[in-house]
Amino acid sequence: MITAGNKLTETTSFVSTRNACKLCSPLGACIVMRGMEGCIPLIHGSQGCSTYIRRYGISHFREPIDIASSNFVEATAIFGGKENLFHALDNVTKQYQPLAIGITSTCLSETIGENVPMYLHEYQINRTKLPVLFYASTPSYRGTHIDGYHEAVYAAVETITKKNIVPKKTKRINLISGFVSSADLRELHEILISYQIPYTLLPDYSESLDGGAWEDYQKLPQGGTTIDDIAAMPEASGTIYLSTSVNSSRNAALFLRDYFGVPATNINLPVGIENTDIFFETLNHITGQKTPVVWEKHRSRLIDAYFDGHKYCSGKRAILYGDADFVVAMKLFLEEIGVVPVLAADGAEMDFATILETSAGLNPDFVIGNSKGVYLSRQLGIPLVRCGFPIHDRIGGHRILHLGYRGTLNLFERICNTLMEAKQNAAPSGWTYI
């Protein structure tokens, strides 16, 4: 998807990707798994796949991330990887003593036709006291890191909740988050806590991928959605899924609706006043409560900030890129503050080279997206507002707050200050007051 102004534009097809605007599918799945308490990701494929994912995760979150591998080699690609997977499961269980192991496929294991569900069924025969095992099919030739993220959420929910045969109905809320920052997850926690009812937030890497300093290395850092909280999701009075792009056949909220009768709602990421209002309205509908006063105050403060900074961003033109959920929410937010998104690009369909070519003649004032946009920023000679994933050329990318009224205020001020700095730097004499 590429939108230029309000028009959907066609792009030229190429044999190969040139400077990809996406990451691999198992990466997203591994982030979900690290957002579950005591869960270790296991890549069914080569060591190179797990190394690539660790590198990207560590550079963004600035935390060590252990990811196991079944260690495919040439012979495995020919004769199959069942024995490798069994050895990997044995070793991971012994070394980490995890509560759960999330297995993801790779391009190679999918290409040779590995039947991992059958392998796992065979593995569990005559073995006792095993961790929870669940499998996410995540070949990168079939999707992006966001597709892998949603697939892992679905796999975990389907595997764990089916053990809750006759769920009791409670006032619990299920909130399934899109791929957001650790700070965003903490904000979602605060919002849910303010309603004073039980909830499940899945995934939750707010602590496991953004914890404090350790005296001794922790193989499995504390934090994450508990297995018990996932198992209790069928008891909820409703599920909110912060994604409008997730495939309906792998939508965990729809699974809970169809299998357990839990009402499901998919909404955009709560970025901007309008999207955040919809989020709170949905929470209010499920809980039967009003928006807590503390959030009304944050909303009022955000509106006041819009008044203060409107003159700095109104009419400015932006190039926006990233995964579909991020792009849709951010496009609505930019329009809300008076910025014209002259190009909004979803990395699932094109690369950065195509985005650069499409931007010719659009006269953008700034670029907004992850660190990969440095390429666009330099080529176009305009500033980059960093947000989303990955951010690996600055410290604190995983602590950027995007969601809710406070996250919107943070983004708004980042954009205003970036534009003010660019104007100040371009002035012949420089200004101390703008």
Give the residue among 234, 224, 245, 123 at the shortest CA–CA distance from 178.
Answer: 245
Query: Are the C-beta atoms of residues 402 and 271 closer than 8 Å to each other?
Result: yes
What's the confidence (pLDDT) of residue 17?
Answer: 74
CA angle 329, 333, 336 (to 5 degrees): 145
Given a cut of 80, is residue 369 above it in pLDDT? Answer: yes
How far is it, in rounded angstroms, from Cα 388 to Cα 244? Answer: 17
Examine the pLDDT at 384 and tell me if it is beyond 90.
Answer: yes
Output the six-digit token pair for 244: 């409008």
pTM for this entry: 0.93
Cα separation, 370 vs 379, whole angstroms: 16
Task: Burial-class residue 418 by CB neighbours within 10 Å (0-12, 13-18, 19+).
Answer: buried
Buried b (16+ CB within 10 A) or exposed e, 293-304: eebeebbeebee
Report pLDDT digits (tens) over 204-220.
999 999 999 888 888 89
Domains of the chain as residue ranges with CATH = 2-18+299-426 (3.40.50.1980), 25-161 (3.40.50.1980), 173-293 (3.40.50.1980)
Give the helix ranges, DSSP H, for 4-80: 25-34, 47-61, 74-79
Determine the Cα–Cα distance for residues 218 and 107; give it in Å rounded to an integer.
30
Three-state secondary-structure class, residue 100? strand
Measure the CA–CA gap between 149 and 108, rounded to whole angstroms: 19
Q: Is the pLDDT of residue 15 over 90?
A: no
pLDDT at 282 over 80: yes
DSSP H or E run through 150: helix 145-161
Tokens of 146: 């966001």
Give me the mean pLDDT over the 189-199 stretch. Answer: 98
Q: Which amino acid is at 227?
A: I
Amino acid at 322: G
Query: What amino acid is encoded at 378 in this protein?
Result: R
Comparing CA positions, the residue from 370, 343, 400, 350 lying closest to residue 144 is: 350
Average pLDDT estimate for 370-377: 92
